[in-house]
Chains A and B, each alone.
Chain A
Amino acid sequence: MTTEVASETEVKKEPEKADEQPVAAQQQDGEEEPEQLAAVQDGVTPRAASPHADRKSKEAKGLSRFLPPWLKRQKSLSRTEPSEDREDKTPTEEQQEAPPSEEASPQEAERDESHSIGSADTQPAKEEKGEGSPERIGDGKEEEDLLESKAGEKDEGKLLKLEAEVEKSSLKPAKKMKTVTCQVTLLDGSLLPCELEKRVRGIVLFAKVCEHLNLLEKDYFGLCYKDHADQKCWLDPAKEIKRQIRNCPWQFAFSVKFYPPDPSQLTEDITRYLLCLQLRQDIASGRLPCSFVTHSLLGSYTLQAEMGDHDPDGHCLDYISDFQFAPSQSKEMEEKVVELYKTHRGMSPAQADAQFLENAKKLSMYGVDLHHAKDSEGVDIMLGVCANGLLIYKDRLRINRFAWPKILKISYKRSNFYIKIRPGEAEQFESSVGFKLPNHRAAKRLWKVCVEHHTFFRLVTPEQPPKARFLTLGSKFRYSGRTQAQTREASTLIDRPAPHFERCSSKRLSRSLDGAPGLGMDDQSGAPGQGLTPGAKNGRDPALELSSDSKDLDKTQEDVLKHQASISELKRNFMESTPEPQPSQWEKRLTASPATSLRLRAQAAFEEEVPSSSVLSSPVAVPTGLPAACTTSVSAAEGDIAVGSPPAAAHVVEKALPRADGSSYSGSDAGKTAEDKQKSDTLEQAEVEIEETVVIKEVRKAPKVEVTVPEVVVTIAVTEKEPEEKTGAEAEGRGDEGVTQRGSTSSDSHSESEDEAEYRPQAPGESIDHIKEVPEEEEELAVEAQPLEAEPAAAPPCPTTEEQESPLKDEAQNGHPEMQSPQGSVEEDEEDEGEPKLNGDASRAETEGLPQVICCSEPPVVKTEMVTISDTFAAQKTEISTTEVPIVHTETKTITYEAAQVDGAGDGEPGVLMTAQTITSESLCTTTTTHITKTLKGGVSETRIEKRIVISGDSDIDHDQALARAIKEAKEQHPDMSVTRVVVHKETEVMEEGKD
């Protein structure tokens, strides 16, 4: 929650920006501000006010020394830097934060979190100090902030959260919280039992383990677990453990995630010792192949470190076979080990470890995280991720190597993994290389590992996560921990006396390896490279994977699995905007979601109002990649906030309508973005956690801007739906392609869905990040941006509550038929809503000057029944049993804010659905549908962008934040548009406590 709060702040800030644009927006802002202020007073100290002092004081404490001074500075700078706007915003954010009570989770614990969060914001330093991992994250983010304040802020939020959580966990153990006992297998093979609150994030456990180990240089390490498929997954420190592991046992292994290329640069012997233990495991398991001689040499150093000098009178041959020097060791090897061991006389254990590492680091597979794959011809190969780049192996042979500097982009789509290679001296064009992974999860896992490794080893500071744009597809996952450079910097500040630690005998180690609960490494899969540090937001691949693919997998019950699968597919579809399944779901959502209905109304109103015309803009663009991108990133919790602070929600942003396509779309469109996540599933699905960002950025601001004032409707619907559709089918294309093409004007969009994600190592800025957490509940945020030329000012939204669910479908359907582009070219892409092709087409169209209309065909049929109960702010819990999924109990709450103006929309003419895109982010599924409506009446072109964000997660979604963020993003992305409607639809599954 905490994190989210931070994010919220950001959101608001953005709105401020919005102020510049449309008058309406300003008005709204104004309203909002007061509230914000109030919130601030409530107890949250405004950041601007006292950041430095707090920090300093905090810094002084414990870990603070660990932090590099410059990092600290940056933080302060970042905070300071923010312009007035920020400050103003800040309060808002805080407000949003404040609402925690609103959040679905009633428990006090949550409140505590929120509070802690608040404190975190104000006093980042403490948090950081408190626990290294959080610090890291924070640092990274903060740095980024400098670069990009907004993004950074978000990050901070996360950090804060994490930190806060950690603190909280430590401070208040579990009163009301349920606790669970987990076991962590340490590198020496021993088990560390930990009592944890069930809801805590990975960072808490990681911090405990590091504390137990007395480890400061922890960025190289991480916790992993085995998922249902027996794949080793890295625990994402930023996400709840429970959501990541699902039903898997609470068993973890502490392991090295990033193998330092030069262990001699590690500051402390204890760190090197732990690395040695990891490498001994790697060697014994065969994951790190060695020659006979090397096995012998490394073994001899192991003996020296653990046994001290060779005792001529001893009978080392008696016990030597208890040590495991190699996957299979011969007597000959043991003799060789002893022979070498004798030569190490006088070497201290630390020296022996250092020598061990000096030899081990040269091994060809040192620190290489291997992944099974097939090349374009279907040949089995292995992809190895290491500090220097990506290695391609066939058998043991390295058939290619792509150093990080050579890689322009890393992406995955479904089970395919792609890298775009920088053209060499001789080549003029970038080339892309594709690989086929066994499944989607594997592709995502590989992608994450690459992102993490690139960031850790190649960057000085973590890249900001991609910023959400209007439509953001795909995973926003970025490594948020410290980079190697940062951790080294931090390590130089370690001034404690070398901690005492016991070296345990590897004899035991080897044994324990066998018996150890799951942690061992999988040779191939297990590899080291995944992100270790807490910093990783998304954590580890595993988490991500889980979320996307895993949804299906994770669930134990087949039904659940299926369900999840369907969900994931849906997401994919949305993301990719594939025609088939998505639309249906999408539409459902629309129907179901009140927001849609609102939109309809709104649209109507707009049409009338809007005079102009012809160009439309953004919505179309959106799909096409054009113009306006509204991204809604909703952090989890926002719904509540939204409710609480309506004003914030509605901002009217004007956007220039970007699309100048030439085509005149006189009718404006209604853009609808639907994001659905149907994740109705239960907590188990943690997958949702995945952050995916779909970026379709941009709207081109076109040249001809019609002064339309777009309205942005933000709908946050939390629904539990069980998607059963298969969306998966189409999704593929859209993300990357669409994005790229679009990119021309404005931005590159990264579309990353669960299915796909892009990462451009070299251009950090491009990416947008949202960090979203998926709570158990699904939330949808729909933001509609409608450009209205005529209506610049968006009246402050009036909060209304709607309970409508169904209407949307109708609209959508209606829209299709009606869609006509002025120019007459109407393209219908049915079934393909979000497809890249669409985007591509659209863009083409733009170029051509011909407007294209894309119709979304019919609404997908949702098998699940939604029962919405509720209204307004107060969340009512209702248990709804879905027919299909009996297990899920849903609580639904819908809150709608509409700008007054909006209401006026004439129902008579439904918008024509020009295009629909679905974007799914990891944590959120976002489906964006753009409806372009041509208004016969006034010849006014209206562009409406509706963005719907569905957040599904196990728990703790900060609705307010999510909403705020969505709004902020929407504004940012569509500066010329106004937010006319915000609908929050919240469905909460009522979990059965017994489970999970």
Chain B
Amino acid sequence: MASFGNFTHAIVRGIPASLVREALRSSFCEVDLAAAQHQLQLHIGTLKDELGLQVVELLADESLPDCVFVEDCAVVCGDTALITRPGAPSRRKETEAMKSALQELNLNIVEMEDDTATLDGGDVLFTGREFFVGLSKRTNQRGAEILAWAFKDFPVSTLPVFEGLHLKSFCSMAGPDLIAFGSSEPAQKTLKILQQSGNHHYNTLILPDDAAANCVFMNLSGKGQVLLHCTPEEYPNSAKVFETLKDHLLFPVSNSEMSKVDGGLSCCSVLISKTGS
């Protein structure tokens, strides 16, 4: 637990032009490719320059319009990486590049070989103590079971996702034992269940906007607690909430374009903690 959020590496992926038209989305929005790419570069810059992570950048693949959302392709915890089987068939091939990148990092690779299992990384919330897997349109029970098998050391619980694409579309870790949650009714319902089924008591940070509850927490040596969160421009009310966090080093990161295709801040990176060797 002490090492939770102590990331050393990040894997990111470029944005293909096909994202503009072909990326999956829940509502029709026009994405400004250039703006999206700019925002991603700023995001990567923060990880690399501000936070000192070693960033592995995978090339975009035009045949995979959603490939920028690398989070869905793998779940990494400790030295183990689970290569997922994304719920959207069009995204299944995204895992190939991810797998090889993770292998490069000498992680123990576990693959989902069950054709009935689906799991998007966006549905996986790791608290440092246990996993919660959202059962959503993209993730099923079998996928969660395989995740539980892959990460035997930790309890794995499932949570219903009543609304939104992923579990982490309305929640994420915002600190040690601190979970950010959106204030919508569906999000709160899920939170209730989380609180009941979780092993541990977590503090919650309730945000007015569900999407703003998707943030990226790190606990870096030398930096302390770091939080990438929404900008005041996008979610002014939620940004104010983040600003109340005294112990965190705050980095507002723009994500307005990606959010048009249901992408959150956490979607754009797979964070890895490689300690020791």
Q: Which residues from chain A sit less than 8 Å from chain B, CB to CB?
A: 289-294, 362-365, 388, 391, 394-401, 403, 406, 424-426
Contacts and interface: CB of A to CB of B under 8 A. Distances in A.
Contact of B157 (A401, A403, A424): A401
Interface string B129-161: 010010000000100110011011111111000
Contacts of B130: 364
A399 B158 contact: yes
Given A394-B141, A397-B157, A398-B155, A291 B78 contact: yes
A327 B198 CA distance: 28
A397 B78 contact: no
B230 to A, nearest CB: 29
Nearest to A386: B199
A395 B153 contact: no
Contact of B197 (A290, A292, A394, A400): A400
21 contacts: A291-B78, A291-B152, A291-B153, A293-B78, A293-B79, A294-B153, A363-B152, A364-B130, A364-B152, A394-B141, A396-B145, A396-B152, A397-B133, A397-B157, A398-B156, A398-B158, A398-B197, A399-B157, A399-B158, A400-B197, A424-B192
B157 A398 contact: yes
**Chain B interface main SS type:** mixed
A388 B201 CA distance: 12
Interface residues of B, number: 24
Contacts of B27: none
A397 B199 contact: no
5 nearest CB pairs, A to B:
A396-B148, A364-B155, A289-B152, A395-B145, A401-B197
B46 interface: no
B26 interface: no
Contacts of A403: 196
Contacts of B157: 397-401
A426 B145 contact: no
Given A396-B148, A397-B158, A388 B199 contact: yes
Contacts of A292: 79-80, 108
A397 B152 contact: no
Nearest to A395: B145
Nearest to A384: B155
Contact of B198 (A362, A365, A401, A426): A401
Contacts of B151: 291
Nearest to B152: A289
B259 to A, nearest CB: 30
B156 A291 contact: no
A428 to B, nearest CB: 15
A391 B198 CA distance: 10
Contacts of A401: 157, 196-199
A685 B144 CA distance: 45
A397 B196 contact: no
B196 A424 contact: yes
A362 B153 contact: yes
Nearest to A421: B196
Nearest to B132: A398
User: Most chain-B CB neighbours within 10 Å: which of A293, A363, A397, A401?
Assistant: A397
A364 B156 contact: yes
Given A397-B157, A400-B197, 5 more contacts: A290-B153, A292-B108, A364-B155, A396-B148, A406-B196
A491 to B, nearest CB: 26
B197 A364 contact: no
Contacts of A388: 199
Contacts of B158: 397-399
A364 B141 contact: no
Contact of B192 (A289, A290, A396, A426): A426
User: Most chain-B CB neighbours within 10 Å: which of A289, A395, A424?
Assistant: A395
A365 B80 CA distance: 18
B176 to A, nearest CB: 15
B69 to A, nearest CB: 24
A397 B192 contact: no
Contacts of A394: 141, 145
A291 B80 contact: yes
B199 A396 contact: no
A375 to B, nearest CB: 13
A397 B145 contact: yes
Nearest to A398: B157
Contacts of B141: 394, 397
A516 to B, nearest CB: 25
Nearest to A340: B276
Contacts of B152: 289-291, 294, 363-365, 396
Nearest to B154: A364
Interface string B46-63: 000000000000000000
User: Most chain-B CB neighbours within 10 Å: which of A364, A365, A394, A406?
Assistant: A364
Contact of B80 (A289, A293, A399): A293
B270 to A, nearest CB: 18
A754 to B, nearest CB: 33
A406 B198 CA distance: 13
Nearest to B149: A396
Contacts of B148: 395-398
Contacts of A406: 196
Contacts of A395: 145, 148-149
